Structure 1
């Protein structure tokens, strides 16, 4: 189908669903941790090392993919990286070897790293500067995260870790969605996104971009740290079993669905910087509730934490792209990938503290991180949009554009 036959709404829907299929595998790694602990008797530190393996290599190579997409349009990365990301997680439970498990999970991280810069660049072009449309694209990833615990639990129920090859199914679906979306966008339109970014008249504001990235790192450590251990922590604090732990992880991920959509709409009304600042401020109280409030009320604070962490999620992406108008791929790779996955580097430290003391003690320092992020964000100003910097929308498509008052694509 040509670009003129594919509306931006349809393309955003396809990209969002493809994003969901990819980010299933980011959420699946954390969802597998309790099963590695129960079936292989891994310590907290050893189990969190698997989360680190998924994050560390991804964090290193993600900016490289971003720089490559700044130079060349590489839409083929979307279906290929989707398959690689899924295959790594699918084989994580096949071998009892810890080293092999780390290796295949690291391969999955590379696939995820390759996907995000190019997909964010293409989505920004299709969205034509709409915060809401980018929110829907980000929502897809959040829903992938949210469904990962349920998907992993269902697969593990069929045969434990040895059933993990069944986890390849979302990757196959994601490949098909990516191919359909790229046919709608068209190669010329995809290439134009990179070409227009290279003509941006604004200068790259590295100082603001680095402050934004620092705030996202703080968010990442909180989110990944809770993602790795909230299932085990909920079992302790509520006295429940596997179901209570899976429910806690599901709430942590699903709350992001509400937060991401709300973030795009709030930014349209109030501006991106104020919305991001208030989100980080409110997250401080929500994380404190997760750490200190026992019983079923814990789930309320998990939901509030999730919403607070995700309201600014899509806004991080567009702010980063606007701070670096000449390096859209690099900005996308950092804001959507590097600073998201880098939180996994802190997971082994959290696990080591938990082994030495308790999970509650290990999670308590996470309360301070949204405060640090808020302080960094208080020094930022609203940047000129990339569309204004280029003097034209980031797409060659002719159909009716997605607007900030659009409904679900």
Structure 2
């Protein structure tokens, strides 16, 4: 029988320092890249408050980043599976930073939309080749892959902590301050590719048998989770401001806690998967979202609800890294395409539902949009029943 998983040596599961040494460049690059995805929800309340954008227009900004980040993922993934394209991930990081960083400088909504669309395209260019090469570096360890995935969560986490006070204090033009890190990281990643070119394979190794049916079910789970995650990132600050009566600073703290919990949940998910299995970890994370979201909405105190925001972020991200690795195990012959779908297309697809949530928020406030999201995990729970551990699947 041919396994769909790569061989895992004993130290692959139990050597966290070794994992970090192998994954630190990719984890850092992922953090920088996804910082610019996190910049969008962090900036949306400021566009509403400083530019008088409506809820529907604000949701449209999330849609712009989503369209740019989602539509190119599959063709880019297919290219990454056929060719190394070492320049693609560095260029993607640079474009993500330039588009997001310049969005606060332009005067009109269409220009803001176009620049966030460009930033999304940059994110799309990074994920498939980076996910392919990170898989090679991680070997068979879900814990090692969780460092790469957690890098993206760290980028989301840092974004509101830096962007919200900068935009509050300096205005929307402060987004330009965040252009240089993207260009610098693009250069560092390009140099890393040059150093590892001698040992890196020119094409992706094809191992095992593809499971397109399982991968389709996994993609559906990703889309549901993306809808919840994008909705939380877009409306949680406005929920604190408009419903709980907090200031914009405390609203930014709530978003930071959701994203910070996401970092912890991503790392926890990798450890759990190496111990109890990937599918069980995904199902556990999906089930835990229901009570966590409900508790946050029941609490009416702007300070007491903050720990619940952290809990929501933690449990909702337990499946994150696991789904990335599981997707590549279901499509072992196309790891770049799998990464493009799980890291990019499926994760970004949730933004397609943001205009609908924006309409709900326009009529019922941000709490109404979050109340709808609190029921969505039921779909993820039902779909994840179709998932199976790759090692237990007969060829």
TM-score when normalising by structure 1 = 0.88
Corresponding residue of 1:63: 74
Alignment of 1:209-228 (within 5 A): 209-228=215-234
Distance 2:111 2:256 in 1: 28
Choose which of 100, 118, 138 in structure 2 pairs with 1:107.
118
> How far did 1:238 drift?
3.3
The answer on 1:39 being equivalent to 2:46 is no
Asked if the contact 1:79/1:175 (under 8 Å) is kept, the reply is yes
Aligned positions of 1:2-401 closer than 5 A: 9-186=20-197, 188-192=199-203, 194=204, 196-197=205-206, 200=207, 202-295=208-301, 296-384=303-391
Distance 1:282 1:218, change over 3 A: same
Q: What do the CA deviations read for 1:30-58 (whole angstroms, capped 9, x no partner)?
A: 11101100111111111110110000132
C-alpha separation in 2, matches of 1:158 and 1:184: 41
Contact 1:155 1:167 (C-alpha < 8 Å) held by counterparts: no
Equivalent pair of 2:243/2:367 in contact (CA under 8 Å): no
Residues 231 and 278 of structure 1, relative CA distance in 2, 3 Å threshold = same
Distance 1:81 1:11 in 2: 22
Q: CA deviation at 1:370?
A: 1.4
SS at match of 2:374: helix
Choose 204-213 or 177-186, whichever is displaced more. Answer: 177-186
Number of matched residues? Answer: 377
SS at match of 2:103: coil
For residue 202 of structure 2, give the secondary structure of its aligned residue in structure 1.
helix
Instruction: Name the CA distance, whole Å, in 1 between partners of 2:304 and 2:19.
Output: 41
1:155 and 1:263 map into 2 onto residues whose CA distance is 32
Distance 1:14 1:173 in 2: 13
Distance 1:144 1:344 in 2: 18
Q: Deviations over 1:84-105 (max 9, x none)?
A: 0100001101112111110010
Cα offsets for 1:47-88 (capped at 9, x unmatched): 110110000132111111111111111121121111001000
Q: Is the 8 A contact 1:322 1:385 kept in 2?
A: no
Going from structure 1 to structure 2, the CA distance change for 1:14 and 1:385 (only over 3 Å counts) comes to: farther
Cα distance between partner residues in 2 of 1:104 and 1:244 = 28
Using structure 2 for the length normalisation, give the TM-score.
0.91
Structure 1 residue 184, shift from structure 2 partner: 4.1
Distance of aligned partners of 1:368 and 1:185 in 2 relative to their CA distance in 1, 3 Å threshold: farther
